[in-house]
Amino acid sequence: MRVGVIGIVVCGDRGISIEMQKLFNEFSDIIIGRMGVPRNNMSAISLIVEGTVERISALTGKLGKFDGLKVKSALTTMD
């Protein structure tokens, strides 16, 4: 099991927020916290996640396929 943060920057079309929400619902089993900061020309979202590397990577991989999103993650082990 890993715990970490996924940082998402949304630039451009905010219409992808509905599709992102569907993805967040699909991965709700590993998302333990979420914070969003809307701005005029971009928005930032941080997700706190807890799960297997495979499951977290699946989420970040699907997020990375959206046009207009920049995604970075940082994970650590739970000792």
CATH architecture of 2-73: 2-Layer Sandwich (3.30)
Phi first, then psi: what are they for 68, rounded to 5°?
Answer: 90, 5
CB burial string 7-34: b at 16+ within 10 A, e below: ebebeeeeeeeeebeebeeebeebbeee
pLDDT at 34: 97
pLDDT digits (tens, 9 = 90+) for 25-64: 999 999 999 999 988 888 999 999 999 999 999 999 999 9
Model confidence at 24, pLDDT cuts 50, 70, 90, reads: very high
pLDDT at 47: 98
β partners of residue 48: 5, 33
Does the structure show a pLDDT above 80 at 13? no
